[in-house]
A and B are shown apart, each in its own frame.
Chain A
Amino acid sequence: MSMTNAPVREPTDEPSEPAPEGAGGPGLEHREERARARRGLLIGLPSLVYLVLLFAVPLGIVLVYSFATRSRTGRTILGDWSLDAYGRLIDSLVLEIFLRSVWLAVVSTVICLVLAYPFAYYLATRSARSRAILLVLVMIPFWSNFLVRTYAWRVLLGSDGPLVGLLEGVGVEDLRLLFTPFAIVLGLVYGFLPFMILPLYASIERIDFSLVEAARDLYGTGWQAFRTVTWPLSRPGVIAGSILVFIPSFGAYVTPEILGGSKTTMLGSYVVRQFLSARDWPFGSALSFAILAVMLVAAMVYFRTGGKSL
């Protein structure tokens, strides 16, 4: 092979075959490959450093603490390793809080899904212009502080707030909205609805609507076409959205703290209490890892079902 028609390196994803001897210098393709890998590392380095320093290391510290013991005065004793903190996870109080957290997170997720699906569908079927406007509207709440917005609900739901007043006006008596599971679910749905809408929108928007027409053409009613085509094809979005709502709802701290009462403690608040008031760092760490485990399972469900379908 002469140098004039020497190997043109094709930008291919396939594994490149070893270059034949004497074709434009030995190992040219390998060097290219190594250079590409180096560039990749360079680009990824900042975020890698960030993740290791601020995520992996603290997580490791929490893990170490979860095996430590607590002294009577609330000091954490490192070196006296035990599994006591994990043993306490099956306390009935912890289980109650755990189940309540799962339950409220599931309810919030389902409500988000029911509210978000029609909207996401509507969004995905608009013209490009209306879509842009509607998407901005979905994201506008993010522009103001979450804490402030949650406090606003406290005013709205309070016993002298407009909602209670309105309901008492139509004859409902002794109504309490604030500091109830209802208030928590409301707050969670309010806070996390966009996390459901966006992945749903993304997956519905990708659906080829001629498939829906095909289903209608093949004697399906509108509902049947939805059930057999649109719904299964939007499932990746349903799963992604559900995970994105479930995980922060399950570990929520701000919302149950502000809108929930003492009888509706959720895991997030409980963990914080271990660190701040109970000064039981090992138990708080163990709780954190239990939450992490639940979330990992949720994420695995996602990658198992959503990841591989389509």
Chain B
Amino acid sequence: MTGTETHVPAGRDRRPDPLDDGSGVAAVALREVTKRFPGAGRKGGDDEVIAVDGVQLDIADGEFFSLLGPSGCGKTTTLRLIGGFEFPTAGSVRIFGDEMALEPPNKRPVNTVFQSYALFPHMTIEDNVGFGLKMQGVEHDERTQRVAEMIELVQLGGREKRRPRQLSGGQQQRVALARALVNHPKVLLLDEPLGALDLKLRQTMQLELKQLQERVGITFVYVTHDQDEALTMSDRIGVMDGGRVLQVGSPKDIYDRPRTRFVADFIGDSNFLALTIDTSGAAHLPDGSMVRVDGDHAAGSTVTAALRPESIGLHGHDVPHRDDLDTLDAEVERVTYLGKARAYQVRTAGTGGAVRLDVRQGNAPGSQHFEVGEQVRARWMPDSLTVLDD
């Protein structure tokens, strides 16, 4: 593969899938969880909204789990159901084995980092961080000590007496983290905590958050619509859309093996190829060329496969064929310079219909570039073509 631009560091999928191994109880287990909100109109009207629709989810102890999806996909509602800010219409919410679906937030061993931090504006940083301990009736001396330690941990020493307003966005974010973590929750819920920060700070905080999570060993459930954030930080990701969890897996799984068109499209970019399976089981593109696909598919059926633009290598038309790569000959239709890469659109000229492919080629020194109208040969490894369920 040339020009690969993957978001996934190696060795990400080291943790076992908790749905598969029977050992230990899940930190959070959602079973058939549904949440309906009454519509804006009359009571009992048919305009009610199904925010979460029969969600099944197991989040392992110590895991950094992200719920990823577009706005309105139900990820925040799912988080709020775990936190106790919403009660499910149906289903079960278990936290370390205890049924919590109808418990109020103060009865749950979880804490939340809110989207806009929700720091108490009328309290000092110290009082904000100590709030949870105070409510739990922790003795003054122990409280002071734990608050001081936590403020030190998030590097806000010396700012104890300030008000939230007097801190920068990044610092407020740390206060929100400290305020939650000081209670030693069993699960920490984070609702797009980096959304309000600018790009550079967000990237720094992503790293810090991940390191912090590894240090404290607490299960993190992280809601985001930012795929880079989810891919960078998570042990596992649950991709949501329309109130359902479409796919759960490691970042590498999700990225390399999307199961549905939505997942392939929402995370990264994909070429969607319509494949026809012939009687011998071989898959054909509309232009007649043959490609290799995984799995058995019924003869005569049509399937859709996803292929990442960066999984495709573009070469001169005279590059020799290789047995381990699938090849398409095409003509460059469009070139877009993206800075770190070039985006090509190429078009095959086969017997049936034309096939268009988006290709992403890195700009490293020595990499080949092509102009519009040039004949090229596109190649990819067969296993980077993923047949989708829908």
Q: Which residues of A contact B83 (CB under 8 A)?
A: 217
B132, CB-defined interface residue at 8 Å: yes
Q: Beta-carbon contacts of A228-267 to B below 8 Å, as 1s and 0s?
A: 1100110000000000000000000000000000000000
B131, CB-defined interface residue at 8 Å: yes
Q: Beta-carbon contacts of A30-71 to B below 8 Å, as 1s and 0s?
A: 000000000000000000000000000000000000000000
On whether A221 and B106 interact (CB within 8 A), knowing A213-B85, A232-B122, A233-B121, the answer reads: yes
Q: Which of B26-34, B47-55, B112-120, B210-218 contacts A (4 or more CB under 8 A)?
A: B112-120
A217 adjacent to B106 (CB under 8 Å) = yes
A224 adjacent to B135 (CB under 8 Å) = yes
Interface size class of A (residues with CB under 8 A): 20 to 34
A220 adjacent to B106 (CB under 8 Å) = yes
A216, CB-defined interface residue at 8 Å: yes
B136, CB-defined interface residue at 8 Å: yes
A12, CB-defined interface residue at 8 Å: no
B179, CB-defined interface residue at 8 Å: yes
A19, CB-defined interface residue at 8 Å: no
Q: Which residues of A contact B115 (CB under 8 A)?
A: 210
B135 adjacent to A219 (CB under 8 Å) = yes
A95, CB-defined interface residue at 8 Å: no
B111 adjacent to A217 (CB under 8 Å) = yes
Task: Count A/B pairs, Cβ under 8 Å.
Answer: 65
- Which single member of B40, B110, B112, B135 contacts A220 (CB below 8 Å)? B135
A202, CB-defined interface residue at 8 Å: no
On whether A211 and B105 interact (CB within 8 A), knowing A217-B111, A217-B112, the answer reads: no
In the complex, chain A residues 189-230 whose Cβ is within 8 Å of any chain B Cβ:
208, 210-211, 213-222, 224, 228-229
Q: Which residues of B contact A220 (CB under 8 A)?
A: 106, 131, 135
The CA of A226 and the CA of B180, in the complex, are separated in Å by 20
The CA of A218 and the CA of B118, in the complex, are separated in Å by 12
Q: Across the two chains, which residue of chain A brings its CB closest to B114?
A: A210
Q: Which residues of A contact B119 (CB under 8 A)?
A: 214
Instruction: Determine how close the nearest CB of chain B comes to the CB of A12; give it in whole angstroms.
Output: 22
B120 adjacent to A214 (CB under 8 Å) = yes
B353, CB-defined interface residue at 8 Å: no
On whether A213 and B114 interact (CB within 8 A), knowing A219-B183, A310-B121, A310-B122, the answer reads: yes
Q: Which residues of B contact A144 (CB under 8 A)?
A: none
In the complex, chain B residues 85-138 whose Cβ is within 8 Å of any chain A Cβ:
85, 104-106, 110-112, 114-116, 118-122, 131-132, 135-136
Q: Across the two chains, which residue of chain B brings its CB closest to A218?
A: B132
B131 adjacent to A215 (CB under 8 Å) = yes
A213 adjacent to B121 (CB under 8 Å) = no
Q: Which residues of A contact B179 (CB under 8 A)?
A: 218
The CA of A309 and the CA of B121, in the complex, are separated in Å by 10
On whether A309 and B118 interact (CB within 8 A), knowing A213-B105, A214-B112, the answer reads: no
**10 pairs from A and B in contact (CB 8 Å cutoff):** A211-B118, A211-B120, A213-B85, A214-B112, A215-B131, A217-B85, A217-B106, A218-B111, A219-B132, A220-B106
Additional 13 contacts, C-beta under 8 A, given A219-B132, A221-B106: A127-B40, A210-B114, A211-B118, A213-B85, A213-B105, A214-B120, A216-B85, A216-B104, A219-B135, A219-B183, A222-B104, A228-B120, A233-B122
Chain A interfacial positions (CB closer than 8 Å to B) = 127, 208, 210-211, 213-222, 224, 228-229, 232-233, 309-310
- Chain A to chain B: the 7 pairs with minimum beta-carbon distance, closest first: A218-B132, A214-B118, A219-B135, A210-B118, A216-B105, A220-B135, A219-B106
Chain B interfacial positions (CB closer than 8 Å to A) = 40, 83-85, 104-106, 110-112, 114-116, 118-122, 131-132, 135-136, 179-180, 183
